[in-house]
């Protein structure tokens, strides 16, 4: 008798799970399609206007761009799709009195929703791991295609690189392609004092100074910082090259078509060398070091994120804002599936009314609105330094869990 009852309960849980997954699959396809189609409608007219003077804008490249965007859209849509699927499934169970039948069979409300919560947790973990490496790579590749599609308006603002390395080495370049690991139009200066580096220098347009002599370039750059030449000349050496490319086999930067200078403390040139090809033995920074100059956190793998944070720490730069973003994008937000599912299970009766589909959409939207409002408030507080980065990133999740326990207590009583 006990075995028969167990099998009956197992069949009920299997029915609940299969119903939820079917609704989740349909809602995911539906919302992903709507999101993708709305973005195409919003962006396509602008792209077509640029097609006359941008030969890169073709049907194949536009399709490639939106295919590469699908993982990002998936990351955005799936939490809401699962929230809707959970709400709709429970609402239908309540409306059709199936919940009463489940309880009569020996299942409690907690047991009925347990499978839903477990599935949500598994999906959240899977989404988190996807967002460590796979989704960021798609985001970055889609950004590269987007830059080419919009290059007539984006290149002047986006393609100038100004960064700083260890031991007072400063980098100025027109373009850095991290996929091909190559700089175009680069100037490298080694500071004689580490306090004089790119952090004290305002943004410089390399194209405005590349026609000047190296001495004039240095004067233009150094004029922007508070520095007294009565002490000593601020730089030890400099390199200006048309291109600098990373060689994977030797793990060295190779500069081509350039000039190398060395100065004494008074700014007198003690060595000048023109070269066609030069292996840069004294440059320690690898291509991944410059990732943040071309990527945002959404486009960086988990390793690149923490390499970037470590880089900021070593150079004594503010890093907590970036750390808040890393924690929220890579850890907190993927668990929105789990949190939203918890909230939906705590108010299941609210969906069991007439016009089930409309009520489910409306209440799911309100739940998501409150949740993302809490998430963004926490992130903003963290970026202001009021809360530690980890706590700020998860504060929205923690508050939502508190709300869940309150609603669940009200539901059971």
Listed by start position, the domains of the chain span 2-146+323-412, 166-284
The pLDDT-based confidence of 181 (bands split at 50, 70, 90) is confident
pLDDT of 153 higher than 70:
no
213-227, 238-252, 321-335: which has the minimum mean pLDDT? 213-227
* pLDDT number for residue 196: 45
CB neighbour list of residue 7: distance below 8 Å, 6 or more residues apart: none
- What is the dotted CATH code of the domain comprising 166-284? 2.60.450
Mean pLDDT over the full length of the chain: 81
Report the pLDDT averaged over residues 75-95.
90
- Which distant-in-sequence residues (6+ apart) come within 8 Å of 154 by Cβ? 147
Helix, strand, coil % in the chain, rounded to nearest 5? 65, 15, 20
Which of 365, 375, 288 minimizes the C-alpha distance to 333? 375
> Residue 323: its pLDDT value, please?
94
* Rounded Cα–Cα distance for residues 366 and 383 (Å): 26
Q: How confident is the model at residue 373 (pLDDT cuts 50, 70, 90)?
A: very high
Whole-number Å distance between alpha carbons of 290 and 253: 13
- Digit-coded pLDDT (tens) for 16-65: 889 999 999 999 999 999 999 999 998 888 888 888 777 888 899 999 99
Cα 117 to Cα 211, 360, 390, distances in angstroms = 63, 18, 24
Residue 265, burial from CB neighbour count under 10 angstroms (0-12, 13-18, 19+): exposed
What whole-number percentage of the chain has pLDDT above 70? 81
Q: What is the spatial distance between Cα 122 and Cα 78, in angstroms, rounded to a whole number?
A: 13
Rounded-to-integer distance, Cα 127 and Cα 405, Å: 25
Give me the residue label for tokens 């040139």: 269
Q: Quickly tell me which residue has 């999740």 as its tokens.
A: 397
Could you tell me if 120 and 82 are in contact, meaning their C-beta atoms sit under 8 angstroms apart?
A: yes
Exposure string for 230-264, b = 16+ CB within 10 A, e = fewer: eeebbbbbbbbbebbbbeeeeeebbbeebbbbebe
Structure token pair of residue 410: 């009200």
* Contact in structure between 164 and 189 (CB atoms under 8 Å): no
User: Tokens 């000039």, residue?
Assistant: 259
pLDDT band at 292 (very low <50, low <70, confident <90, very high): low
What are the CA-CA distances from residue 273 to residues 48, 77, 187, 246, 381 (Å)?
Answer: 49, 56, 15, 21, 52
Q: State the number of CA atoms in the 13 A half-sphere of 42 facing the CB.
A: 7
pLDDT classification of 210: cutoffs 50, 70, 90: low
Pair 24, 82: CB distance under 8 Å: yes
Q: Assess contact for 383 and 396: CB atoms under 8 A.
A: no
Q: Which secondary-structure segment (H or E) carries 118?
A: helix 109-130
Q: Which residues contact 213 (CB under 8 A, 6 or more apart)?
A: none
Say which residue, 223 or 347, is predicted with more confidence.
347
- The pLDDT score that the predictor gives to residue 315 is 67
**What is the distance between the alpha carbons of residues 409 and 406, in angstroms, rounded to a whole number?**
5
Give the pTM: 0.68
| Dihedral sign computed on CA atoms, order 283, 287, 289, 292 | positive
pLDDT for 9 beyond 90: no
| Residue 352 neighbours by CB distance under 10 Å | 17
Model pLDDT, residue 222: 56
């Amino acid at each position: 008798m006990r075995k028969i009852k167990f099998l009956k309960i197992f069949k009920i849980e299997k029915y609940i799970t299969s119903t939820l997954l079917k609704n989740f699959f349909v809602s995911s396809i539906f919302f992903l399609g709507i999101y993708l189609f709305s973005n195409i409608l919003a962006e396509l007219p602008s792209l077509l206007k640029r097609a006359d003077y941008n030969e890169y804008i073709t049907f194949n490249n536009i399709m490639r761009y939106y295919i590469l965007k699908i993982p990002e859209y998936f990351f955005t849509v799936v939490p809401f799709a699962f929230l809707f699927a959970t709400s709709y499934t429970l609402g239908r169970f309540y409306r059709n009195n199936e919940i009463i039948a489940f309880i009569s069979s020996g299942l409690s409300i907690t047991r009925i929703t347990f499978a839903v919560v477990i599935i949500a947790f598994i999906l959240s973990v899977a989404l988190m791991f996807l967002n460590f490496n796979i989704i960021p790579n798609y985001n970055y590749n889609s950004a590269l295609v987007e830059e080419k599609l919009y290059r007539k308006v984006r290149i002047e603002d986006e393609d100038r690189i100004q960064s700083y390395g260890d031991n007072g080495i400063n980098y100025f370049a027109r373009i850095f392609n991290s996929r091909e690991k190559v700089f175009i139009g680069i100037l490298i200066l080694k500071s004689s004092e580490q306090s004089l580096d790119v952090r004290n220098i305002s943004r410089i347009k390399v194209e405005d100074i590349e026609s000047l002599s190296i001495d004039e370039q240095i004067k233009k750059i150094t004029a922007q910082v508070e520095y007294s030449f009565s002490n000593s000349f601020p730089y030890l050496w400099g390199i200006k090259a048309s291109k600098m490319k990373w060689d994977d086999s030797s793990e060295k930067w190779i500069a081509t078509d350039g000039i190398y200078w060395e100065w004494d403390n008074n700014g007198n040139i003690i060595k000048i060398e023109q070269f066609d090809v030069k292996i840069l033995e004294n440059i320690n920074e690898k291509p991944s070091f410059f990732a943040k100059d071309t990527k945002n956190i959404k486009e960086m793998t988990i390793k690149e994120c923490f390499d970037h944070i470590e880089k900021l720490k070593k150079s004594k730069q503010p890093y907590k804002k970036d750390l808040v973003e890393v924690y929220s994008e890579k850890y907190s937000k993927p668990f929105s599936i789990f949190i939203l599912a918890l909230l939906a299970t705590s108010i299941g009766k609210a969906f069991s009314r007439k016009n089930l589909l409309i009520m489910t959409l409306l209440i799911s939207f309100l739940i998501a609105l409150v949740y993302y409002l809490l998430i963004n408030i926490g992130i903003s507080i963290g970026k202001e330094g009021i809360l530690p980065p980890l706590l700020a990133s998860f504060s929205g999740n923690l508050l939502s869990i508190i709300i869940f326990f309150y609603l669940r207590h009200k539901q059971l009583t």
